[in-house]
Amino acid sequence: MVWRAALVVCWVSFGAHAATADVSAPSGVGCDEEAQGIALRISTGIFLDAALCTRIGTDLARIRKQDAALATFHDWEGPEPTRELWLRVDARTFRKIKDGTYSEWSRFNRQWGMPTVVNADASLTIGGSRMVLVRMPRVMHLDAVAKAYRKLPGVQSAEPRWLGGDGPTISATRRDDSMHYLFDDAGGDCMAGCFLHHWYYFIVDDAGRIARVAEWKDRVAVPPSVPKWVFPR
């Protein structure tokens, strides 16, 4: 993400310790679907880190309880896309997957569970290859799963099924004893890529104390209190 140095007027900015609060999380929050999606985006392992997911869900609930502007703000991407893969396979592999005799992925199935074939329509072809959509039995880090599936015999490519377009997002980063959260209240023509942005930056330490570090809008300079590494890559 590139920020133009010529834009030097900051809309609103708060010091890192100017708005610090210790807010208890509402009851019943934790590793919900939104937290699952955010946790998977910053994880490197195959499976969802339940502790990280619960931490994120609890932190977000505390932030929303403290800040009325974000009370109804939610990340537009849930975990559902992180359970499905598009496989591009040859004709022989397509037939075996469709009739349930593709044993080559058994070693992965023993570790991760058996995927469900969602779509195996012979009319879905790309350059002579067939397309198969499979759904994993649990929420997983599909980039890692896809990398493993690409090595299977007859599989020519494997890619996660992602949602099209864009929308409001929450980015999370773990640094030292704190979690850093960047809320992007994005708008505009989001099917083509959002062009309006309203940013909020929070830090939540391991004791649950919340620091509302900065808030700013599009077309202004990023406040100096906001490190570059909090932005999604």
| All structural domains of the chain with their residue ranges | 12-77+164-219, 80-160
Residue 103 tokens, joined? 């044993």
| 142/62 Cα distance (integer angstroms) | 29
Biggest distance spanned by C-alpha atoms of the chain? 63
What's residue 58's pLDDT?
96
Q: Could you tell me the two tokens for 57?
A: 């869900």
Q: How many angstroms from the chain centroid is the CA of residue 108? A: 23
In degrees to the nearest 10, what's the CA dihedral of 29, 33, 36, 37?
Answer: -140
For residue 185, what pLDDT is reported? 92
- pLDDT for 83 equals 85
Report whether CATH 1.20.120.450 matches the domain 80-160.
no
Are the C-beta atoms of residues 222 and 8 closer than 8 Å to each other?
no
Per-residue b or e along 152-166, where b marks 16 or more CB atoms closer than 10 Å to that residue's CB = bebbeebebbeeeeb
Position 158 scores a pLDDT of: 95
Instruction: State the Cα–Cα distance between residues 144 and 13, nearest whole angstrom.
Output: 38
Helix (H, G, I), strand (E, B) or coil at 11: coil
Backbone angles phi, psi at 219, to 5 degrees: 70, 20
What confidence score (pLDDT) does residue 205 get? 97
Q: Residue ranges of the chain with pLDDT lower than 50? A: 1-18, 25-27
Output the pLDDT for position 60.
96
Beta bridge mates, 159: 86
